[in-house]
Amino acid sequence: MIIIFLLGIIYYFSFDYANTLSQKNIINQQIENSKIQANIVSSLLEERLKNGFSKEQVKNELQNSIENMSIENSFVCMFDSTGREICHPIRQKIGKVLTKNNSIIKSLENDKVEMNFKEAVMKMQSKGGIRKLKNYSEIVYLSPVKHTGWIVASHANLTKFQKEFNRQKEMNMLIFVLVWLSSSLLIFLFLFHMNAINLKKVSNINRNISSQYFKELKAINDKLSQTGKNGSNEIKRLLADKGAKLKPVLIENIAYIYTQNKITYIVEFDGTKSTINTSLDDLSKLLDKKTFYRASRQVIISIKAIDKIEKRGKTQLKVITNPPSPVEIIISKAKLTEFKKWAGRN
């Protein structure tokens, strides 16, 4: 009897350790999945901004992509550097600001290592772990969007995992006690059998949750990509600087765009001049190639702005625009054939 009792104690603690280790492994895997999801979304947003889209456009695209998505198991949202929610599947939550006592993030490896969630957001830190709130806990990972003051947060509800762990533990403990009371031999055999079953269940949970995360991530990516495709060929205006104000400039009103002293200027047909913080290379990609032509490294001209074209020597042309350009527009020998085809087509 003493031997059976001692074996029962040994098996009990071995089982408890294995169960705890399984829980820790699946939570670690979920934190990694959340990290992947948050990093991919923040990278997509950075790419959209590099392609010339405004922060407001990119933020609205993300909101449209995640709006009304289920938050029961997992979701993505975004904060600014003040801790204010700027994108969330539930629109009513947009505008709410985190408080210092809202929650903390704890490291899974060492629960003594913790940080206030709002501080992590405001410091734009790439950080993940278990977030403790008053009524529930969740897995969260933060990924900042470079040069924006935004940070993407990927959330996963820990309650679903905990309920499954508790259910398995209760069921396995009952089986364990019954087997232990039968004999020490059956305890030994069933312990290994149940551990194998538990590992299989944990793997299935992890596989199913991972599949769901990547489906949701693909949906966000597809919506962002589709939005870009639908909008990239239909640019109707540029947002330029006019003094201390921002001014929308209609594409059809642009006569030419030029750079001077590292500043990019937009000149409209009525002579209005404004500046824009975008390079000629990026603008050339956005503008319709039938209407606009990159005449030189310094100038992009509209076909409608050409007043006349003069010969300059045997291998160059000089373009006179209306309104007059402050920089001389010379078509080099290398661009001569291409320019004639473009001007002739139009």
What is the tens place of the pLDDT at every residue in 284-311?
999 999 999 999 999 999 999 999 999 9
Q: pLDDT band for position 228 (50/70/90)?
A: very low
What element of type H or E holds 83?
A: none
* Confidence band of 234 (pLDDT split at 50, 70, 90): low
pLDDT > 80? residue 44: yes
The answer, yes or no, to whether residue 333 has pLDDT greater than 70, is: yes
β-pairing, 137-145 vs 150-157, is antiparallel
Q: Which residue has the higher pLDDT, 283 or 206?
A: 283
d(CA 305, CA 268): 9
Contact between 106 and 129 under an 8 Å Cβ cutoff? The reply is yes
**Centroid of chain to Cα 312:** 51
**Token pair of 182 as six digits:** 């039968």
The pLDDT of residue 95 = 93
- Confidence (pLDDT) at 346: 63
Average of pLDDT values for 191-217? Answer: 68
Residue 307 has what pLDDT? 93
Could you tell me which residue, 199 or 264, shows the higher pLDDT?
264
Q: Where are the domains of the chain?
A: 2-232, 237-345
Q: In what order do the strands lie in the sheet with 254-260?
A: 245-250, 237-242, 273-275, 263-268, 254-260, 299-302, 292-294
pTM as predicted: 0.45
Burial class (CB in 10 A: 0-12, 13-18, 19+), 217: buried
Identify the weakest region by mean pLDDT among 5-14, 107-116, 211-220, 222-231: 222-231
Give the CATH fold of the 237-345 domain.
Answer: OB fold (Dihydrolipoamide Acetyltransferase, E2P) (2.40.50)
Higher pLDDT, 312 or 22: 312
- What is the tens place of the pLDDT at every residue in 14-36? 667 766 777 777 778 888 888 99
Q: Is the Cβ–Cβ distance between 34 and 141 less than 8 Å?
A: yes
Confidence of residue 232 (pLDDT cuts 50, 70, 90): very low
The whole-angstrom separation of Cα 257 and Cα 275 is 9
CB of 91 within 8 A of CB of 103?
no
Mean pLDDT of the chain: 82
Q: What gap in Å lies between CA 102 and CA 115, rounded to an integer?
A: 12
Structure tokens at 88: 């969330």
Residue 233 in this model has a pLDDT that exceeds 60: no
The share of the chain scoring above pLDDT 90, in percent, equals: 44
Would you call 268 helix, strand, or coil by DSSP?
A: strand
Q: Rounded to an integer, what distance in angstroms lies between the CA atom of residue 28 and that of residue 21?
A: 10
Res. 70: pLDDT tops 90: no
Whether the per-residue pLDDT at 272 is higher than 80: the answer is yes
Q: Fold for domain 2-232?
A: Beta-Lactamase (3.30.450)
Under the banding of pLDDT at 50, 70 and 90, the label for residue 231 is: very low
Q: Which amino acid is at 140?
A: V
